[in-house]
Structure 1
């Protein structure tokens, strides 16, 4: 199955897993699956516009729960190999692919970019989405991507830059403390929440030829209501991470409850917000 019917089947399976009403257990890091659903529309439009051909071997680096690998197979008919360092995430992605009607069925490996058992020039194209922001050595990852693509192979790189976020009114201080804790945790692991602006330079220095740079952005002005998907995503993300944030000292006792209470108190109010991601299309030069 391909096209819109396949995409609808992917969404349905993921929603059922998140609510506990389907054949699959909830995915690891449910907040990530919610984010994947939340951003599906803009991402699928972007993927559909790629000039990738059926049958191409495509790498999905940092594949997470496997949803985007399935989308690529459904939209472009490509043969996707997804890699991720998290074995639980890879196992869940394989389960999702097994119950999905999408063909060709992606395969998934537990590996990082630098250690993946994949030969140089194995792929006609590659996708790396929301991975660079987590890496302590993004330059090494860019070089690995260059090695794994064949000459003439195309790479689509997508990542965040917190400089693209604008809100009015600003978030309550107690809620902002929670957001800051997430950024501090990421930085402590070597990550960078402003990696988007660095993506073109990282890829060019690794040998890629930059074909295009853009910002996939959106803005909303509406009441923040409990039933909105982005509200559910934000709450789930915080609730899942609170024990780790507290144990690591990024939050003080009581900060989590105070932040969630402030978030709940702001629901129903009109709110302006922008969000965006940097998108880079690059090529390993032929020859």
Structure 2
């Protein structure tokens, strides 16, 4: 399957430079965190013929990894029709490249995690990655997962927790941008410490927690690439209006940060980031 994953990464890379693809920093993130995503994927109880949901699928990173491994019925759900349009294009490219498992069917649905466009007892497995940190009502989303799972069905939630990230030496420019983006996310009802809360959310909705684990990824770069800075710059530009309107930064501060991200040199750095994954089961 490593060959299929390489094809997925190669196809995703072709979308990084496309001007008609919004939020391209998500593709950078998809490529940078592929190893963690796939390590979690191999722990999931997925078998051929199952009905599998990817909630908050975005451009389809996790959807396509599952599609490369299993002949299942996949549904990618996201509230952004624009993201789903890109996912459909990527799917077309991947099928042409032979990276989708024979017998795997994929459909894409526009929908909200807190009101899934699916009937009760519909799916064998539901997965969601990097979604719950953005939700204003994560309890409602977990109740929806419980509703759409078949009795005995499994879910796996994966998310970050800022306490599991560290860097040395700290890049002061990147740190200032990350702090501003984190404050905006919190202002909008998000939670940068969601990873530690996933198990409690699932248990509180009536699901039995089967497994919890943390998957780390560490890296040391003597000659850092510009990719991390450029990804931050894209995020900063995307959230410019929100940052200024909420008073988190001023217009002058925004312009200074954007300029520094582009101009100031990066230093050698060690970084470590980890994701929390929780697998839970709906009672039979």
Q: Provide the TM-score with structure 2 as the length reference.
A: 0.89
Unaligned runs of 5+ in 2: none
Count of residues in correspondence between the two structures: 277
Give me the whole-angstrom Cα distance separating, in 1, the residues matched to 2:189 and 2:270: 31
1:161/1:278 contact within 8 Å kept? yes
1:78 CA drift (Å): 2.1
Q: 1:144 to 1:224 in 2, by over 3 A?
A: farther
* 1:153 aligned residue: 153
Q: 1:18 to 1:221 in 2, by over 3 A?
A: closer
1:34 CA drift (Å): 1.1
Structure 1 residue aligned with 2:233, among 217, 232, 235? Answer: 235
* 1:41 aligned residue: 35
Q: Which runs of 4+ in 1 moved over 6 A?
A: none
2:122/2:148 contact within 8 Å kept? yes
Give me the whole-angstrom Cα distance separating, in 1, the residues matched to 2:220 and 2:3: 31
Give me the whole-angstrom Cα distance separating, in 2, the residues matched to 1:105 and 1:5: 20
Give me the whole-angstrom Cα distance separating, in 2, the residues matched to 1:209 and 1:258: 49
**Root mean square deviation of aligned Cα:** 2.0
Q: Provide the TM-score with structure 1 as the length reference.
A: 0.88
Give me the whole-angstrom Cα distance separating, in 2, the residues matched to 1:234 and 1:55: 40
Structure 2 residue aligned with 1:30, among 24, 27, 31? Answer: 24
Give me the whole-angstrom Cα distance separating, in 1, the residues matched to 2:222 and 2:241: 29
Q: 1:16 to 1:196 in 2, by over 3 A?
A: same
Give me the whole-angstrom Cα distance separating, in 1, the residues matched to 2:212 and 2:20: 35
Unaligned runs of 5+ in 1: none
Which secondary structure state, in structure 2, belongs to the residue aligned with residue 254 of structure 1?
helix
1:249 CA drift (Å): 2.7
Give me the whole-angstrom Cα distance separating, in 2, the residues matched to 1:252 and 1:133: 25
Which secondary structure state, in structure 1, belongs to the residue aligned with residue 16 of structure 2?
helix
1:151 CA drift (Å): 1.1
Which secondary structure state, in structure 2, belongs to the residue aligned with residue 100 of structure 1?
helix
